[in-house]
Amino acid sequence: MDQSPFTTPRGSLSSSIGNAAELEANLTLSDKLRVFKSSSFDPSAYVASKSRSMNEKEIRHLCAYLVDLKKASAEEMRKSVLANYSSFIRTSKEISDLEGELLSMRNLLSNQAALVHGLAEGCQLGSLVTGNEDSDMDDIINEKTDISKTEKWLIGYLETLNVLLAEKRVDESMVALEEGEKMAKEIKQGKTLSPSLFQALQNAITEHRQKLADQLAETICQPSTRGTEIRTTALALKNLGDGPRAHTLLLKSHRKKLKRNMQSLESTTYGGVSAYTASISHLVFSTISQAVSDSLTIFSGEEPAYTSELVTWAVRQAETFSLLLKKQILASIAATGGLRIASECVHVCLSHCHLLEASGMALSPVLLKHFRPFVEQALNTNLKRIEQSSAALAAADDWLLAYAPTSRNTNTGLRPVSSYSSLNSYQPKLSISAHKFNSMVQELFEDVGTLEILQLDGLALEGLHQVFNFYVKLLINAMPGSAVTENLESTGHKIVKIAETEKQQIALLANAILLADELLPRAVIKLSHGTKGDDSHKRVSDKQRPPEQRELKKRLQREVDRLRDSFCRQHALELIFTEDGIPLLNAQMYLDMEEKGEIPEWFPSPIFQELFVKLTGVAGIASDVFVGRERFATILLMRLAEAVILWLSDDQDFWANVETGQTPLGPLGLQQLYLDMQFVMIFSSQGRYLSRHLHQAIKNIIGRAIDAVAATGLDPNSVLPEDEWFVEVSEITIKMITGNAAFDNVEEDAYSPT
Instruction: Kindly state whether residues 565 and 700 are assigned to the same domain.
Output: no
Band of the pLDDT at 269, cuts 50, 70, 90?
low
Residue ending a domain, among 576, 609, 641, is: 576
Instruction: Kindly state whether residues 568 and 628 are assigned to the same domain.
Output: no
- SS3 string of 534-599? HHHHCCCCHHHCCHHHHHHHHHHHHHHHHHHHHHHHHHHHHHHECCCCCECCCCHHHHCCCCCCCC
Q: Which amino acid is at 44?
A: S
Residue 130's CB is within 10 A of a number of other CB atoms, namely 16
Residue 662's CB is within 10 A of a number of other CB atoms, namely 6
In this prediction, residues 138-157 reach a mean pLDDT of 61
Instruction: Kindly state whether residues 591 and 462 are assigned to the same domain.
Output: no
Instruction: Kindly state whether residues 585 and 734 are assigned to the same domain.
Output: yes
Within a domain: 442: yes
Instruction: Kindly state whether residues 520 and 634 are assigned to the same domain.
Output: no
| 667-686 vs 630-650: helix crossing angle, rounded to 10 | 170
The DSSP line for 588-634 is: HHHHTTTTT-SPPP----HHHHHHHHHHHHHHHHHHHHSTT-HHHHH
Candidates 381, 388, 551; CA nearest to 462 is 551
Instruction: Kindly state whether residues 564 and 433 are assigned to the same domain.
Output: yes
Helix (H) or strand (E) holding 8: strand 7-8
Q: Is the pLDDT of residue 261 over 80?
A: yes
Question: Under a CB-based contact definition with an 8 Å cutoff, are residues 246 and 234 in contact?
Answer: yes
Q: What is the pLDDT of residue 685?
A: 93
In this prediction, residues 78-94 reach a mean pLDDT of 75
Distance CA 311, CA 317 (A): 10
Instruction: Kindly state whether residues 597 and 560 are assigned to the same domain.
Output: no
Instruction: Kindly state whether residues 682 and 570 are assigned to the same domain.
Output: no
Within a domain: 675: yes
Question: Under a CB-based contact definition with an 8 Å cutoff, are residues 730 and 698 in contact?
Answer: no
Instruction: Kindly state whether residues 469 and 482 are assigned to the same domain.
Output: yes
Distance CA 491, CA 391 (A): 7
Instruction: Kindly state whether residues 561 and 609 are assigned to the same domain.
Output: no
pTM, 2 dp = 0.66
Within a domain: 665: yes
Q: Which amino acid is at 438?
A: N
Within a domain: 38: no
Within a domain: 61: no
Most confident range, picked from 129-143, 363-377, 441-455: 363-377
Question: Under a CB-based contact definition with an 8 Å cutoff, are residues 585 and 576 in contact?
Answer: yes
Candidates 348, 344, 347, 318; CA nearest to 258 is 318
Candidates 656, 670, 654; CA nearest to 720 is 670
* Long-range pairs for 169-173: beta carbons < 8 A, 24 or more residues apart: 170/212, 170/215, 170/216, 170/233, 170/236, 173/208, 173/212
Q: Is the pLDDT of residue 333 over 60?
A: yes
Question: Under a CB-based contact definition with an 8 Å cutoff, are residues 528 and 644 in contact?
Answer: no
Q: What is the pLDDT of residue 13?
A: 39
Band of the pLDDT at 608, cuts 50, 70, 90?
very high
CA atoms within 13 A on the CB side of 343: 25
Q: Which amino acid is at 587?
A: A
Q: Is the pLDDT of residue 268 over 90?
A: no
Cα distances (Å, whole numbers) of residue 684 to 607, 628, 734: 15, 21, 11
Instruction: Kindly state whether residues 562 and 606 are assigned to the same domain.
Output: no
In this prediction, residues 364-384 reach a mean pLDDT of 86
Which comes out higher in pLDDT, residue 30 or 590? 590
Main-chain phi, psi angles of 626, to 5 degrees: -95, 55
Band of the pLDDT at 48, cuts 50, 70, 90?
confident
CA 668 to the chain's CA centroid: 67
Within a domain: 389: no
Question: Under a CB-based contact definition with an 8 Å cutoff, are residues 638 and 698 in contact?
Answer: no
Within a domain: 617: yes
SS3 breakdown of the chain: % helix, strand, coil, rounded to 5?
75, 0, 25
Q: What is the pLDDT of residue 116?
A: 66
The DSSP call for residue 327 is I
The DSSP call for residue 460 is H
Summarize pLDDT for 375-409 with one digit per residue, the tens: 888 888 889 999 999 999 999 999 999 988 754 44
Main-chain phi, psi angles of 429, to 5 degrees: -100, 115
Distance CA 478, CA 222 (A): 74
Range of the domain at 594: 580-738
Within a domain: 247: no
Q: Is the pLDDT of residue 9 over 50?
A: no
Q: What is the pLDDT of residue 421?
A: 37
| 630-650 vs 502-514: helix crossing angle, rounded to 10 | 120
Distance CA 281, CA 724 (A): 84
Instruction: Return the exposure string of 6-22: e unless at least 16 CB atoms fall within 10 Å of the residue's CB, then b.
Output: bbbeeeebeeebbeeee
Q: Is the pLDDT of residue 52 over 80?
A: no
Alpha-carbon Rg of the chain, whole angstroms?
47
Q: Is the pLDDT of residue 325 over 70?
A: yes
Instruction: Kindly state whether residues 661 and 567 are assigned to the same domain.
Output: no
Which comes out higher in pLDDT, residue 585 or 156? 585
Band of the pLDDT at 223, cuts 50, 70, 90?
confident
Structurally, the chain folds into a number of domains equal to 2
Strand partners, 402: 430
Residue 458's CB is within 10 A of a number of other CB atoms, namely 12
Residues in Cβ contact with 583 at an 8 Å cutoff, skipping those fewer than 6 apart: 576, 577
Distance CA 546, CA 378 (A): 25
